[in-house]
Structures are given as structure tokens and as C-alpha cells.
């Protein structure tokens, strides 16, 4: 059989596809397949669908139907014109209504368009229409192929990408939405067991449980040897509109201690005109005790010598009026100490059972900072209480595996177990020593951006 000419070899609305790819990645609301787990080589869904369709459809396939199959809300010319209008508004600082319609990956495809594509592909390739992705990565191409209803084969040799691929593409088509309800049910049970064991390490503030905790890394001051915080921004809340809040540091030079109070930025009574200056910027520190600069090499040396610490300086409470910030209470500080002792008690057994990561951080890496700042092992990227949390989550989930499999059957049970493992992985993203307090993204209804928080 002579290979026929296909659409992608003759024509492709590349500029319009580019517009949709930009929209897909720049909204802050990534498609669902991007949220499960980060995979750096994952392709945009619009481009993936275009590659699949363009490779199996004949060169004379109707262009307007092809664009509808891509999920375009209008024609290619309309998409490009809308994006040019937005770019002009950005360049001139003008405020305009978004001229774009629904994003392509969200569009519902009409059955007659899909049927027309299948008829054309079958006529061209007979009964042999199969999409094969031998290096599937996170699964954008096989996902779009399967969504279009084509027979799809995906291969991947990287174990992380393979795990993402299975959860992203295989499970939804194999088990459907029923899997979601079951995973949530078992997730709620995991949460219940976790909270029962961990709530004593997170004392409430009155009737309100803590939303999260904000810590600062500290190093000994070169002159006084007192531990001083390295804080690049003292803002607690920094909304685009509304009142900003900051933590204002104070020191007791005689006793070598520091603390903060919470104040608002403004001109009213009790407010201050601007945020306190940062005590860390571009690798350099500023000692609260002397106001002298701390050399970057000093900070790195102290970190590698095990002398870098973490100090809690604020507790966020989520109320109906928004986030409220308070200094830590003695109970908050004592809970951290108690958690450290509990981790010391459990750590040897957890390391033996592979519950917590004991592997070395790679020497050859795209980011050398963990090793540079005294974190040679993966477990070093977490505080003692964070590590206690994740060890407890893993131990509980491993203990539940038999129950899940017995209740749901082997295939569905393994899928649920897999998805719950992914949920723990997502907690790691926002509960480690390297995450930052993102003060721009903390309105009353947002809990995603947190630093060093109680994971559940």
C-alpha cells in the first residue's frame, strides 16, 4: 500500500494552534491532565490533537471541520485577531474584555464532526487506524487520541512518566467517573486516620484550626552568633487591591531573640507606611541584630555544617473574613518540639521500611541548591514535623492497601491506591522547606498556596 498524503503535510493552522497553546498554559488553570503530576515534557493538548488528526486525515479533509475538531471557538483568523487585540491592549495598558471564547481543550466536540473524521480516516487507511506513541511521557498525545475515539497504543520507559500516563489516560477510559467517587471515599478514610494520629501536633487557636504556618530559615549572625532570619519578603498578604499585611520583626539584642507583630500597610492608626526591609536578597543576608550584611558564603557554610534552622514566626487562621495572622503561641512552638521527638522515635523503623526517602539528592542536577544549602538527602527537604506528617500518611496508606483491594477488587483497588499516592505527592509540593509563602494568592477562599502547613 502506497502511503497517502495526509493533511499535516499540506496545511495546518499553526498560528491559531499556537494561540490556543499559549492560552492553555498561561491562564493559571492548567488542563486536568497537567494537575495530577508535573512532567516537564508534556505537550499542549491542542497541539497534540492537531498532530493526531493531521496525521490520519486526508490532505483534502475540510479545513473548517478540522478546526472545529481542534475545539476552536471561531475560525483561525478570528483566534489570531483576538490574540493580536489582546497583545495591543497589554502593550498600551488598556483594559478590555477578553475577546476569546472557550479554551480549545474544554470545548465539546460535535458527534457529526468526529464521525466525519473517522469515516475519512477509515477510507484512507481502511481498518488499520491506530495511533502509536512510543515515547508517550505524561500522555498528552495518547490522551487526545483516545478522546477522539481512535485505537491508541502508548509506550514509556521512565517509571515516573509511566505512572503519570497510567493515571492520566488508562484509568479514566477503563473505569470512568465511578473511580473518582471511590477514590474520594478512600481518601476521606485516609484523612480521618491521619488526622486522628496527627491532630495533637497541631493545637487549635480557640475554635479555629490553623490554616498554615509560616517559617523563616535562620543562620547564626557572624557578629553576635544569635540566629537571625533570612526573609526575602515580610508580606503576609499582598493583594492586587485591598489592604496589605506584613510581619514586622523586633529584636532583643541582649537575649539574642527576635519576634514579629502583624501590622497593616496604610496611613491609619497603628499602620505603617511600607513593609519592613527584607533580611535576605539574592543570596545575601542582613542580620536583624547588627544590620550588617551576611556574606552568601557564610550562609552556605553554616547550612552545610548543619547550623541552618527554621523558626516559626506566623500562624494563619482561615476565617469568614479572610486570613487572619497571629504570632505563634507557646503551644504552637511546643507542638513542633513534640513532633521532633516523635519523629526521632519512629525514624529508624520508617527508614528500614522505606517509608521516608533516604536517598541522596543527585550530585548532577538542574538545581544544586538543596546540596548547597545543607540538604544532601531527599528527606532533608522537609522539617521534622513535615516528615512526620508524610511518614504517617505513607504508613497509613500502605496499611490500607489490603483493605482497598479486598473491598474494590484488584484492578480498581490498585487504581485507587495509585491515585491516593499521587495525592500525597501533591502535598509534598506545598509542604516542604523550599516552598515560599505566596502572599499574592491567599484570599479567603484559597487554600492551595501554603507554606509548611498541616497537609490535611
What is the residue whose three cell numbers read 475554635?
207
Distance in angstroms (rounded) separating the CA atoms of residues 434 and 23: 29
Predicted local distance difference test score (pLDDT) of residue 27: 61
Q: Tell me how far apart the alpha carbons of residues 424 and 412 are, in angstroms, rounded to a whole number.
A: 19
Q: What parts of the chain have a pLDDT lower than 70? A: 1, 27-28, 441-456
- 206: three-class secondary structure by DSSP: coil
> What does the domain layout of the chain look like in residue ranges?
7-175, 177-203+329-456, 208-327
b/e map of 314-350 (b: 16 or more CB within 10 Å)? bbbbbeeebbbbeebeeebeebbeebbebbeebbeeb
What pLDDT does residue 69 have? 97
**Residue 17 neighbours by CB under 8 Å, 6+ apart:** 46, 47, 50, 70
pLDDT tens per residue, range 35-53: 888 787 788 999 999 999 9
Angle at 380 between CA 211 and CA 374, to 5 degrees: 120
**Whole-number pLDDT of residue 441:** 62
Stated pTM of the model:
0.86
Q: Which of 360, 359, 358, 428 is nearest to 393 (CA)?
A: 428
At residue 449, the pLDDT reads: 33
pLDDT of residue 241: 82
Query: Three-class SS of residue 210?
Result: strand
What distance in Å separates the CA atoms of residue 200 and residue 335, rounded to the nearest whole number?
8
Q: What is the distance between the terminal CA atoms of the chain, rounded to a whole angstrom?
A: 59
Is there a contact between 425 and 418 (Cβ–Cβ < 8 Å)?
A: no
| 166-174: Cβ within 8 A, 24+ apart | 166/418, 167/36, 167/37, 167/415, 167/418, 167/419, 167/422, 168/33, 168/36, 168/138, 168/139, 168/143, 169/139, 169/142, 169/143, 171/415, 171/418, 171/419, 173/146, 174/411, 174/415
Take residue 406 and report the three cell numbers written for it.
Answer: 479486598
109, three cell numbers: 466536540
Distances in Å between the Cα of 284 and the Cα atoms of 157, 287, 298, 343 are: 42, 10, 9, 32
Cα 263-269-273 angle, rounded to 5 deg: 60
**Residue 68: closest CA among 102, 30, 39, 42:** 102
Amino acid at each position: 500500500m502506497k502511503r497517502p498524503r495526509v493533511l499535516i503535510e499540506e496545511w495546518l493552522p499553526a498560528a491559531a494552534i499556537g494561540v490556543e497553546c499559549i492560552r492553555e498554559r498561561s491562564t493559571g488553570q492548567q488542563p486536568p491532565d497537567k494537575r495530577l503530576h508535573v512532567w516537564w515534557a508534556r505537550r499542549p493538548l491542542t497541539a497534540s490533537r492537531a498532530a493526531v488528526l493531521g496525521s490520519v486525515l486526508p490532505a483534502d479533509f475540510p479545513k473548517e471541520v478540522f478546526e472545529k475538531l481542534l475545539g476552536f471557538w471561531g475560525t483561525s483568523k478570528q483566534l489570531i485577531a483576538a490574540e493580536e487585540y489582546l497583545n495591543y491592549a497589554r502593550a498600551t495598558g488598556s483594559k478590555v474584555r477578553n475577546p476569546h471564547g472557550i479554551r480549545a481543550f474544554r470545548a465539546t466536540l460535535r458527534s457529526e464532526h468526529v464521525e466525519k473524521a473517522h469515516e475519512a480516516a477509515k477510507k484512507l487507511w481502511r481498518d488499520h487506524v491506530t495511533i502509536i506513541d512510543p515515547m508517550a511521557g505524561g500522555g498528552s498525545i495518547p490522551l487526545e487520541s483516545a478522546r477522539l475515539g481512535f485505537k491508541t497504543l502508548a509506550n514509556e520507559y521512565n517509571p515516573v512518566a509511566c505512572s503519570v500516563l497510567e493515571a492520566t489516560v488508562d484509568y479514566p477510559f477503563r473505569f470512568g467517573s465511578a473511580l473518582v467517587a471511590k477514590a474520594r471515599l478512600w481518601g476521606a478514610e485516609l484523612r480521618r486516620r491521619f488526622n486522628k494520629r496527627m491532630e495533637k501536633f497541631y493545637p487549635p487557636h480557640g475554635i479555629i484550626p490553623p490554616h498554615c504556618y509560616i517559617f523563616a530559615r535562620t543562620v547564626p549572625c557572624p557578629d553576635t552568633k544569635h540566629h537571625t532570619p533570612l526573609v526575602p519578603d515580610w508580606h503576609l498578604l499582598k493583594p492586587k487591591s485591598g489592604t496589605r499585611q506584613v510581619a514586622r520583626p523586633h529584636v532583643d539584642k541582649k537575649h539574642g531573640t527576635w519576634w514579629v507583630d502583624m501590622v497593616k500597610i496604610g496611613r491609619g492608626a497603628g499602620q505603617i507606611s511600607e513593609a519592613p526591609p527584607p533580611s535576605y536578597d539574592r543570596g545575601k543576608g542582613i542580620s536583624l541584630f547588627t544590620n550588617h550584611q551576611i556574606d552568601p558564603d557564610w550562609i552556605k557554610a553554616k547550612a552545610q555544617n548543619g547550623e541552618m534552622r527554621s523558626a516559626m514566626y506566623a500562624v494563619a487562621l482561615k476565617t469568614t473574613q479572610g486570613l487572619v495572622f497571629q504570632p505563634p503561641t507557646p503551644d504552637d512552638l511546643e507542638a513542633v518540639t513534640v513532633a521532633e521527638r516523635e519523629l526521632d522515635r519512629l525514624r529508624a523503623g520508617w527508614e528500614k521500611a522505606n517509608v521516608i526517602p533516604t536517598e541522596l539528592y543527585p550530585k548532577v542536577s538542574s538545581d544544586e541548591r538543596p546540596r548547597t544549602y545543607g540538604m544532601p538527602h531527599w528527606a532533608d527537604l522537609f522539617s521534622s514535623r513535615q516528615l512526620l506528617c508524610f511518614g504517617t500518611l505513607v504508613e497509613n496508606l500502605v496499611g490500607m492497601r489490603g483493605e482497598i483491594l479486598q473491598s474494590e477488587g484488584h484492578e480498581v483497588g490498585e487504581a485507587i491506591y495509585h491515585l491516593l499516592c499521587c495525592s500525597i505527592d501533591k502535598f509534598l509540593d506545598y509542604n516542604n522547606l523550599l516552598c515560599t509563602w505566596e502572599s499574592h494568592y491567599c484570599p479567603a477562599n484559597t487554600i492551595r498556596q501554603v507554606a509548611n502547613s498541616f497537609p490535611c
